[in-house]
């Protein structure tokens, strides 16, 4: 089994408090050893065991690969004009999704897969070593089926976003659309997905419709996650908690009762500040959520409508500047938090037994991710022990 030793790490984020300081389990002058696809040793650089390959990090920071738990990457076209109009004052509404539905339905499988490959590659170069991927721009049985199949070529974390917005042929008939989703779409698509998602929002699906779709998904073995409370206060957060969803995502407009419900649950609040940035939406009350004890993840929410970015470093900077998270909290949320949102214990940490997914920064500590916004600091990325991105030598 090939082994790799990363030595002379300036700051190592392990996300294991037993291995170092604070919730990030920080160690200085550290080393990590991978064997094949797995982390087998973490300790002081001076004590690192020999390995087939040695990588001297020269004081750079190393952290677990980012876990992107919210991405919409199966689509065609873009909505740059809609973005420009929004920046000129037009508000964002759920209906913009139909523009991308039309483009996606018209695209070939090859074109969709090529776009997905491009965005996966972009995500890896931004440090994401796990990427969840949603369907949702087909909204017919055939188009959702090909969307989840294509997503499955790239990731095991496939989400059937069966009810994103009622498509044009169901205009004014959302209940009929939901009935079709339950009778036909979920049974056909569930074998190709792990998660079921729904957009519970004004102009998309109401509580009862969302409940019906998620319950049907659960009956077919899928685990729920919810787009909730993005644009308005509404029932999304409480529905997610009630159904034991893995996460409720966006959480920008919440009441104290929503925060209490989340705090007493296992549902992760996944914050997507890139979407709030690109829609001039309010940012989620991250401080109130964290201080209440809610588990928070950060996602980039890459999609052509509200957040056309794959960059979790950008979202970490936003989380610190705009959501008042500490840099440590933001880094945790983009790594361990994302892993919790995906109910994974093998990723989001650098501890013996974890998958060897790691990032080396062109900087001495993880603080620089927020401190140097917009600077491409992702120097090198390993996924399952293999180098999947190598930046310029410095």
Q: How far is the CB of 233 from ligand NIG (least distance, A)?
A: 15
User: What character string, x for contact with ligand NIG (CB under 6 A) and - otherwise, covers 142-181?
Assistant: ----------------------------------------
247 near ligand NIG, judged by CB under 6 A? no
Closest-approach residue to Fe ion (CB): 301
Number of other residues whose CB lies within 10 A of the CB of residue 109: 11
Q: Which two tokens stand for residue 60?
A: 């750079």
DSSP strand pairing (62-64 vs 358-361): antiparallel
Q: How far is CA 281 from the centre of its chain?
A: 19
DSSP strand pairing (62-64 vs 66-68): unpaired
201 near Fe ion, judged by CB under 5 A? no
- Asked whether residue 143 is marked as a ligand-binding residue, the answer is no
Instruction: Quickly tell me which residue has 């677990």 as its tokens.
Output: 64
Q: How far is the CB of 77 from Fe ion (least distance, A)?
A: 17
295 touches 264 (CB < 8 A)? no
Binders of ligand NIG among residues 100 to 129 (CB under 6 A) are 100
CB of 10 or CB of 228, closer to Fe ion: 228
CB of 41 or CB of 277, closer to ligand NIG: 277
Q: What share of the chain is helix, strand, coil (3-state, %, to 5)?
A: 35, 25, 40
- Asked whether residue 59 is marked as a ligand-binding residue, the answer is no
- Asked whether residue 209 is marked as a ligand-binding residue, the answer is no
* Residue 97 contact partner, candidates ligand NIG, Fe ion, none, CB within 5 to 8 A by sort of partner: ligand NIG
* CB under 8 A, 24+ apart: contacts of 379-384: 379/60, 381/65, 381/124, 381/125, 381/127, 381/129, 382/4, 382/34, 382/65, 382/129, 382/356, 382/357, 382/358, 383/65, 383/124, 383/129, 383/356, 383/357, 384/37, 384/355, 384/356, 384/357
Q: Which two tokens stand for residue 216?
A: 């049907």
CB of 133 or CB of 336, closer to Fe ion: 133
Which member of 12, 275, 356, 358 binds ligand NIG (CB under 6 A)? 275
278 touches 83 (CB < 8 A)? yes
Q: Cα Rg for the chain, rounded, in angstroms?
A: 21
Q: Which two tokens stand for residue 176?
A: 């009929």
305 near ligand NIG, judged by CB under 6 A? yes
CB of 276 or CB of 301, closer to Fe ion: 301
Instruction: Quickly tell me which residue has 């407009």 as its tokens.
Output: 253
CB of 23 or CB of 203, closer to ligand NIG: 203
Distance CA 305, CA 86 (A): 11
Quickly count helices (H) and strands (E) in the chain.
Answer: 15, 17
- Asked whether residue 79 is marked as a ligand-binding residue, the answer is yes
* Residue 357 contact partner, candidates ligand NIG, Fe ion, none, CB within 5 to 8 A by sort of partner: none
User: What character string, x for contact with Fe ion (CB under 5 A) and - otherwise, covers 288-307?
Assistant: -------------x------
Which member of 4, 104, 135, 306 binds ligand NIG (CB under 6 A)? 306
CA-CA-CA-CA torsion sign (341, 344, 345, 351): negative
Task: Give the count of residues interacting with ligand NIG (CB under 6 A).
Answer: 13
Q: How far is the CB of 192 from Fe ion (least distance, A)?
A: 19
Binders of ligand NIG among residues 203 to 242 (CB under 6 A) are 227, 230
Distance CA 330, CA 341 (A): 14
- Asked whether residue 280 is marked as a ligand-binding residue, the answer is no
CA-CA-CA-CA torsion sign (331, 335, 338, 344): negative
Q: Per the annotation, where are the binding residues for N-formimidoyl-L-glutamate?
A: 137, 303, 305
Q: Per the annotation, where are the binding residues for Zn(2+)?
A: 70, 72, 227, 301
Q: Per the annotation, where are the binding residues?
A: 70, 72, 79, 137, 164, 227, 230, 301, 303, 305-306
Residues in contact with Fe ion by CB under 5 A are: 301
Residues in contact with ligand NIG by CB under 6 A are: 72, 96-97, 100, 199, 227, 230, 275, 301, 303-306
């Amino acid at each position: 089994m090939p082994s790799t030793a990363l030595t002379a790490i300036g700051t190592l984020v392990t996300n294991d408090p037993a291995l170092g300081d604070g919730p990030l389990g920080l160690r200085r002058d550290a080393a990590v050893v991978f064997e094949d696809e797995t982390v087998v040793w973490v300790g002081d650089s001076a004590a690192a065991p020999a390995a087939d390959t040695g990588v001297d990090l020269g004081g750079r920071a190393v952290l677990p690969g980012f876990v992107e738990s919210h991405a919409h990457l199966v689509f065609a076209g873009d909505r740059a004009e809609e973005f420009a109009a929004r920046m000129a004052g037009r508000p964002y509404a759920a209906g913009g999704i139909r523009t991308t539905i039309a483009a996606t339905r018209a695209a070939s499988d090859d074109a969709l897969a090529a776009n997905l490959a491009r965005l996966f590659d972009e995500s890896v170069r931004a440090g994401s070593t796990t990427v969840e991927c949603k369907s949702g721009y087909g909204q017919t049985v055939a188009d959702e089926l090909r969307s989840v199949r294509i997503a499955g070529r790239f990731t095991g974390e496939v989400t059937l976003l069966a009810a994103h917005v009622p498509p044009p042929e169901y205009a004014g008939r959302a209940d009929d659309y939901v009935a079709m989703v339950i009778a036909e779409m979920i049974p056909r698509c569930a074998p190709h997905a792990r998660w079921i998602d729904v957009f519970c929002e004004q102009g998309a699906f109401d509580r009862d419709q969302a409940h019906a779709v998620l319950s049907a998904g659960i009956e077919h073995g899928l685990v729920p996650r919810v787009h909730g409370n993005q644009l308005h206060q509404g029932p999304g957060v409480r529905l997610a908690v009630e159904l034991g969803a893995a996460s409720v995502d966006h959480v920008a407009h919440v009441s104290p009762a929503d925060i209490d419900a989340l705090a007493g649950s296992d549902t992760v609040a996944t914050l997507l500040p890139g979407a709030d940035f690109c829609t001039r939406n309010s940012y989620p009350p991250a401080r109130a959520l964290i201080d209440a004890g809610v588990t928070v993840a950060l996602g980039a929410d890459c999609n052509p409508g509200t957040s056309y970015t794959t960059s979790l470093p950008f979202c970490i900077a936003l989380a610190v500047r705009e959501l008042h998270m500490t840099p440590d909290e933001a880094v945790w949320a983009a790594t361990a938090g994302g892993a919790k949102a995906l109910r994974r214990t093998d990723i989001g940490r650098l501890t013996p037994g974890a998958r060897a997914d790691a990032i080396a920064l062109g900087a001495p500590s993880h603080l620089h991710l927020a401190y140097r916004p917009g600077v491409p600091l992702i120097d090198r990325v390993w996924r399952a022990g293999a180098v999947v991105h190598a930046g310029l030598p410095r």
